[in-house]
């Protein structure tokens, strides 16, 4: 006969009850430590904002400026949307290469970026969406062909927007369709981030996710990120899976992802790619790069593939 589990459960509850003072103290010290960390980190963020060189008229930090080429062209245009904590120059030499190939180019700066990390704390999905739609509609109104390209978070935003805007073409690079290959784990990470964001307000961003040791800088990113902004980014990813925008996207599609991407999970791109309604679509795998492909080992291969994709509208 098996043992009765009820006495075991009661014993565990009794021990937990006896340990309640230590548990309470542990929770209290964690909260106090987190608040102290956030207070100290906020001082570093303020110092970072104050010392950052910026345009005196626009207030935009150097290195975060929007990129525009061939503004007077009205035949073909492409809008680049950068990723989380990033900037337009994250695309490396690709915008200039597209401009040299005869395209009107705009690499937009997402709301909350390029000014202060504090600005990111106030940004919601609707702010990202509305800014993207506004920029794309200007190009659509003035040009015969309008293509949309998004990297990382910009890839998730572009996927959502493409279902509404119906661009002539869509290019996604390392789109944020998941941080892990396990949706349940991503959901747990989201709830954990949402619970801790009020007390762990700031996180340092560290080095750019680039494998090439010869990389000498040039891809701008904030030194600090607001935890609340990370929660919003996770909400964007959840919105993609909840609304399944790929069902409404039937334009030519190029999806690029590196098998060595340590930020957005390549397995999720492999899972989502077949769901796009597009008949003209390609999943292009990279082998050597981390997440910022445009500054990494595969930068030339990415540029070549994107320009080949754009030749449809020559």
Return the pLDDT at 213: 95
For residue 71, give both structure tokens.
């503004």
CATH of 67-313, one of 3.30.70.890, 3.40.50.1820, 3.30.420.40, 3.90.1150.10: 3.40.50.1820
Per-residue pLDDT, 1: 45
- C-alpha 133/C-alpha 145 separation (Å) is 16
- pLDDT reported for residue 37: 64
Token output for 16: 């937990």
Enter the DSSP assignment of 293: G
Whether the Cβ atoms of residue 219 and residue 92 lie closer than 8 Å to each other: yes
The pLDDT tens digits for 137-177 are: 999 999 999 999 999 999 999 999 999 999 999 999 999 99
Instruction: Please report the pLDDT score of residue 40 as a whole number.
Output: 77
The pLDDT value recorded for residue 10 is 55
Rounded (10°) CA dihedral 111, 240, 207, 59: 0
* Residue labelled with tokens 């930068």: 299
What is the pLDDT at residue 199?
82
pLDDT of residue 290: 98
Positions of the chain with pLDDT under 70: 1-37, 39
**Residue ranges covered by each domain of the chain:** 5-51, 67-313
């Amino acid at each position: 006969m098996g043992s009765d589990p009820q006495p075991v459960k009661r014993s565990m509850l009794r021990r937990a009850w006896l340990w309640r003072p230590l548990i309470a103290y542990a929770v209290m010290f964690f909260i106090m430590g987190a608040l102290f960390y956030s207070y100290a980190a906020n001082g570093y963020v303020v110092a970072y904002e104050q010392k950052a060189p910026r345009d005196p008229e626009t207030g935009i930090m150097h290195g975060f400026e929007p990129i525009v080429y061939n503004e007077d062209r009205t035949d073909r245009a492409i809008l680049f949307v950068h990723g989380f904590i990033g900037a337009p120059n994250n695309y490396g030499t690709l915008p200039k290469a597209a401009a040299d190939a005869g395209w009107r180019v705009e690499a937009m700066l997402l709301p909350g970026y390029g000014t202060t990390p504090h600005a990111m704390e106030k940004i919601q999905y609707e702010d990202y969406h509305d800014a993207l739609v506004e920029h794309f509609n200007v190009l659509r109104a003035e040009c015969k062909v309008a293509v949309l390209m998004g990297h990382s978070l910009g890839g998730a935003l572009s996927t959502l927007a493409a279902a509404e805007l119906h661009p002539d073409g869509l290019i996604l690079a390392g789109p944020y369709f998941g941080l892990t290959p396990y949706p349940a784990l991503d959901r747990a990470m989201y709830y954990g981030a949402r619970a801790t964001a009020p007390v762990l307000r700031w996180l340092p961003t560290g080095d750019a996710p680039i494998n090439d040791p010869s990389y000498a800088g040039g891809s701008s990113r904030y030194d600090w990120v607001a935890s609340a902004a990370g929660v919003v980014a996770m909400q964007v990813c959840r919105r993609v899976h909840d609304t399944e925008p790929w069902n409404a996207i039937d334009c030519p599609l190029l999806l690029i992802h590196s098998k060595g991407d340590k930020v957005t999970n390549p397995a999720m791109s492999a899972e989502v790619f077949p769901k796009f309604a597009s008949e003209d679509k390609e999943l292009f795998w990279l082998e050597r790069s981390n997440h910022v492909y445009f500054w990494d080992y595969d930068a030339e291969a990415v540029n070549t593939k994107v320009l080949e994709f754009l030749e449809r509208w020559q």
